[in-house]
Amino acid sequence: MAELSDPIPAATLVLMREAPAGGPPELLVTERTGRMAFAAGALVFPGGRIDEDDHVTAERLASGVPDAAARIAAIRETIEETGIAPALVPTPSADTARALHSGIVLEEPFAGMLEKLGLELDLDALTPFARWCPNFRETRRFDTLFFLAEAPAGAPEPVVSEHEAVRALWASAADILAEIDAGSAHAIFPTRRNLERMARFGSIAEALADAARHPVTRITPWLEDRDGGPHVCIPDGIGYPVTSEPLETARRR
């Protein structure tokens, strides 16, 4: 049997905003194109691999901050994939956010762009939430840090990066799960578990408090026979209301 490849370090941002009509917070998700090598066609939170430039930016602008390169990658990927620029001071104007997006697409050094635009990183605005590192034999395997953050006030509606996504939307975790359950969208196993966890919260403050109560541990799902069939399982007691799912539905979602 072939050995598993080394996981690719990655970071993801679960961006939250207050729902305009009240109620649970809305989350920002994108629907990936069917051409992607990983999670093709799935609903995902913005994120991606941690690049060398993220480490350069961390060393230059955020020395000593825990997981600084991962936090920077989560911010950078969110800007690239949605046009929304979180965790920056001062809050970027619409024109500045567009300039950041264009520069990232052109692979300009992130630190240089921030300095040119008079922006600083607010990495404390990102709260560690989870770390997932599945060991199934997928095309690509990631070791992903998830962070929570509140969207900047007055942020524009998201715009998709067309080579990566077909749509971007704000919706509550419950509404996203309902779309998946209805069969009009799908999500990979870690995304669904994180949506179920987020669906328990009635406010952004509740979500942040829950993250503070549960130290981040690396989650590697495993297969186990339960109720007469194979289930994909994760540990109990780390903040997730659902800790197993039949393998058949875990693959189908």
10 touches 144 (CB < 8 A): yes
Look at residue 69 in the predicted model and tell me its pLDDT.
98
pLDDT digits (tens, 9 = 90+) for 231-245: 999 999 999 999 999
Look at residue 1 in the predicted model and tell me its pLDDT.
40
pLDDT digits (tens, 9 = 90+) for 124-144: 999 999 999 988 765 678 999
Task: Report residues of the chain scoring pLDDT below 50.
Answer: 1, 37
Look at residue 159 in the predicted model and tell me its pLDDT.
87
Look at residue 237 in the predicted model and tell me its pLDDT.
95
Look at residue 70 in the predicted model and tell me its pLDDT.
98
Look at residue 40 in the predicted model and tell me its pLDDT.
53
Domains and CATH numbers, the chain: 8-220 (3.90.79.10)
Look at residue 160 in the predicted model and tell me its pLDDT.
83
Look at residue 155 in the predicted model and tell me its pLDDT.
86
